Structure 1
């Protein structure tokens, strides 16, 4: 259990699975902390969230099969239950996409991967980013959680930042 600065300790169980073909070291403790911090930021203090770390070809297959999108992506979330204070879901993140984007932004791959974990967890918690207002709220929540995790560079390297100009550009 991780302590929460805003309430009782979290009893969110985080199960992390790294595909066998991933040869990069993955910080399980940081991923677990990111899930718990993101869920806690939305008031969730119990439940289970699974995280799978995979590569671009695999996440592309999952994206096509479950969402009908035939392309690789950074994160896919599946929320099963979000009934305060209990959360249930799983997310899949691509280490390949994290490596590429981190290189563009000149920040650690681990930070980029954690951003995907935070983003996916916020989706499981009920946040969305399909319109400008929701996207802005999502970006604020991401920045708050990442800062809480000690990653202050989020304000320079977060989503919607263009690598060359560091201005809003992506959705």
Structure 2
């Protein structure tokens, strides 16, 4: 019998330009926890606008510009992972028009990316970045995102 990971998400919508998507965020978190062998995944997810993202990015990382997503790993217990994901709905809306996906699917990609970081993946080296892109693609495919097969774009190629 397979243990089903326990998922707890605290999702805050601080930008209302896109529909709320708790179901897909939860499905993504469950897939990520299962893939990583985690018994529990706890995450706070905040959906914000670019002005808020720039402020948080500046305060927390020293980068004075808006970005698509930032994430932070918090202390977890054995078998558990805990973290925070902040994603920009405004950036998702703008980027989706350029890359040919829906804004909701683009925002889902940002949340998946942040949750993968929380679960221990990184994307600093080219090898890590490729592994991250593949995990994103697998998760999006699992969730039935139509553009998942094309979602291996590099983050720096879509930034303005």
Pair 1:71-2:65 in alignment: yes
1:118 aligned residue: 112
2:30 aligned residue: 36
Q: TM-score, normalised by structure 1?
A: 0.84
Offset of residue 27 of structure 1? 1.5
Task: Return the alpha-carbon distance in structure 2 between the equivalents of residues 72 and 36 of structure 1.
Answer: 28
3-state SS of 1:88 partner:
strand
The Cα RMSD (Å) is 2.1
Task: Return the alpha-carbon distance in structure 1 between the equivalents of residues 84 and 155 of structure 2.
Answer: 26
Structure 1, 42-51 or 115-124: larger mean CA deviation: 42-51
Structure 1, unmatched stretches of 5+, are 1-5, 163-168
CA deviation vs aligned residue, 1:118-148 (integer Å, no higher than 9, x gap): 1001111111111101101111111111111
Runs (4 or more) in structure 1 with deviation over 4 Å come to: none
Q: As a proportion of its length, which structure holds more helix? A: 2
Structure 2, unmatched stretches of 5+, are none
Q: As a proportion of its length, which structure holds more strand? A: 1
Task: Return the alpha-carbon distance in structure 1 between the equivalents of residues 102 and 53 of structure 2.
Answer: 21
Pair 1:16-2:11 in alignment: yes
Q: Is the Cα–Cα contact under 8 Å of residues 79 and 90 in structure 1 kept in the other structure?
A: yes
Offset of residue 37 of structure 1? 1.6
Matched residues, number: 159
